[in-house]
Structure 1
């Protein structure tokens, strides 16, 4: 699969990403898959067109990962921020990859928001990228994420 025609943003991200001032989940997804970490400051040093391009890389797991994402972000960071992304070993079996168990962090974040956690059948109906998004938005234990409830609403899990 090639690049998307436009930046891949969930509806709830359009406002909260503030015109790609913040790192969108599509970019975070690919950073995690390639075992790369960048700071918000590094992201904001990239020209807007580069940020849009990075948000256009595919997130579907069934498709082959666009092989140039890692090269693109490394070159962009070298050129515009004079840094390299931090490297780590990607998780071989992330919790969001499983449709058969709602992660504890998602259950806790739901509780913090005062809503029911997704049922197992609801969780199973989400695609991998949606599950990634909820897991990513709920990763900080005990801390309410302002995008979690909008994501739950967008995915049909809360009113």
Structure 2
């Protein structure tokens, strides 16, 4: 599978990412998948066209589908920021991969937002990338401003 035709952005991200000023969820997914970490400052050092390209990489879990995200990121950061991303070991079994149980963080974010948490059935029906997004937005104990818009966009809140 090749690159997507356009950057992968959810509707809720279009405004909050401010035209790729902030790291979109598709890029975050691939950073996490490959075990790479970059700062917001490093992301913002990349030319807009490079950020758009990184946001076009597929978001399937199979790393063999598109193995060039990490190579592209390394080259871009070396060229434009003279830095390399930090490495970390990705989780073997992150909570979002489980389709049978809503992660505690998502339950907590739902409570903080005054929303009904997704049911186990709703959670299992979500595409893996959408489960990743909700889990990523729920990783901190305080309310995330993108959580409610994401829940609405994914059909989980009115």
Runs of at least 5 residues in structure 1 that lack an aligned partner in the other structure: none
- Give the total of aligned pairs: 158
**Which residue of structure 1 aligns with residue 144 of structure 2?**
145
**Which residue of structure 1 aligns with residue 74 of structure 2?**
74
Q: Find out whether 1:97 has 2:97 as its counterpart.
A: yes
Question: RMSD in angstroms over aligned alpha carbons?
Answer: 1.0
Q: TM-score, normalised by structure 1?
A: 0.97
* Cα contact 1:31–1:37 (8 A) shared by 2: yes
- State how far apart, in whole Å, the 2-side matches of 1:83 and 1:61 are: 27
What are the within-5 Å matches in structure 2 for residues 1-159 of structure 1? 1-61=1-61, 64-141=64-141, 143-159=142-158
Runs of at least 5 residues in structure 2 that lack an aligned partner in the other structure: none
Q: Deviations over 1:57-96 (max 9, x none)?
A: 0002368431110000011111111111010011111110
* Cα contact 1:59–1:65 (8 A) shared by 2: no
